[in-house]
């Protein structure tokens, strides 16, 4: 329910400019769903993770597999509904927000979130708008950092977690790898 309530701000109040920007809606809704569940102690029962950080670490480990299967977070492989509304839009989008919070710190991250909703309320906004706003609010040039997280085919290093490793992409996409990402997609849509 929290995921859908978060869409009142990320999706309804601020709508995506184009389909490749849907990560701004689904990533934020997933971020708030997961962080609330972690704060209230529901994450283990709801998603099988002991902590929010453990969940983000697992999504980080799968980062290159998702990028291979569906494309980078803000550049889906196709306009097919399963590429646009893939684990990248949900978990990948939440992971981008986690990386941003790691980079700028929690107080600045919260200011970015509030500024996003208030500045673009009642309008459509793009990934480019988000990058520009995050840079302006933080007072730091975040363009290169965020573009790497949003558009690169390889998952960047996670700030604050130099020991985190990304799983390699299988040489050929096996049915089991495709099936594993479908299971996560279904699990994410179930929430």
Q: What does the longest C-alpha to C-alpha distance in the chain come to?
A: 45
At 135 the three-state DSSP class reads helix
Q: What angle do CA 170, 28, 10 make, to 5 degrees?
A: 135
- Specify whether the CB–CB gap between 137 and 112 falls below 8 A: yes
pLDDT of residue 171: 81
pTM of the complete model: 0.89
Residue 121 per-residue DSSP state: T
Residue 84 — very low, low, confident or very high, per pLDDT cuts 50/70/90? very high
pLDDT tens-place string over residues 123-134: 999 999 999 999
pLDDT higher at 177 or 38: 38
**Is pLDDT above 50 for 190?**
no
Task: Classify residue 125 as exposed, middle or buried by CB count within 10 Å of its CB (0-12, 13-18, 19+).
Answer: buried
100-109 per-position pLDDT tens digit: 999 999 999 9
**Which of the following CATH numbers is that of domain 2-190: 1.10.390.10, 2.60.40.2550, 3.10.50.30, 3.40.109.10?**
1.10.390.10
Tokens of 82: 């399963």
């Amino acid at each position: 329910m929290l995921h859908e309530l978060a869409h009142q701000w990320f999706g309804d109040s601020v709508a995506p400019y184009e389909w490749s920007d849907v990560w701004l809606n689904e990533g934020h809704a997933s971020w708030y769903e997961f962080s609330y569940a972690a704060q209230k102690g529901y994450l283990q029962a709801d998603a099988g993770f002991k902590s929010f950080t453990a969940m983000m670490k697992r999504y980080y480990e799968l980062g290159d597999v998702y990028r291979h299967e569906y494309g980078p977070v803000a550049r889906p492989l196709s306009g097919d509904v399963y590429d646009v509304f893939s684990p990248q839009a949900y978990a990948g989008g939440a992971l981008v927000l986690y990386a941003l919070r790691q980079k700028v710190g929690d107080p600045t991250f919260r200011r970015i979130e509030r500024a996003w909703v208030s500045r673009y309320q009642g309008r459509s906004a793009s990934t480019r708008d988000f990058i520009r706003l995050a840079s302006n609010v933080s007072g730091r040039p975040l363009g290169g950092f965020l573009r790497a997280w949003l558009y690169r085919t390889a998952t960047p290093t996670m700030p604050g977690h130099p020991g985190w490793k990304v799983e390699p992409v299988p040489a050929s996409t096996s049915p089991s790898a495709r099936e594993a990402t479908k299971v996560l997609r279904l699990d994410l849509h179930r929430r």
